[in-house]
Amino acid sequence: MENWENEYPESTEYAHFYSTYVELVEKANIITTLNNLMHEVYTLMNSVSGDKAYFRYAPEKWTLKEVLGHMIETERLFSYRAFAISRGDKKPLPGMDQNEYMEGNNYNNRTLANLSNEYLAVRVSTIHLLGSMTKEMIAQQGNASGTDVTVRALAFIIAGHDIHHLNIIKEKYLAED
């Protein structure tokens, strides 16, 4: 995990559209950041009561359960990308259409506690994966969604994606009326 000290991606290590996420992440050890975010998301989701888990702040928006499900599946995809690229895989990795992935999901039929536990399991797995990497693996570059990206950038994109959705959850889903 010390291999992540002083690791912050340059803007050339990821597509511009990911800057929204990367720029949300402080320049700190990403493993520590991911761990802290894990506790924050898990605690927050377990504090939600009743029908709030089914709340949509607009008709076309996802429920809180679906947002958490989206966070889980996105992290799975990005951590797989980090795994494949860290191992030197040079094949282009496929993209993800978040709206297509959301179609036919089962998130609203599951409990928020169950989804929170799955989130926790995925994040612990991501932390172990990234924490086991050497400096050389962290610096590996590959192609995903038609753009070049490094493992280092993927770690920060995962964290920034969480921060992005945490901000939306706090502002739009759990804000006091």
- Per-residue model confidence as pLDDT tens digits over 47-70: 998 899 999 999 999 999 999 999
Q: What is the pLDDT of residue 140?
A: 98
Tally of CB atoms within 10 A around 123? 23
Which residues of the chain register pLDDT less than 50? Answer: 177
**CATH code for 2-173?**
1.20.120.450
pLDDT tens readout for residues 130-156: 999 999 999 999 999 999 999 999 999
Contact of 144 with 93, CB cutoff 8 Å: yes
Predicted TM-score (pTM) of this structure: 0.96
> 153-162 b/e with 16+ CB inside 10 Å = b?
bbbbbbbbbb
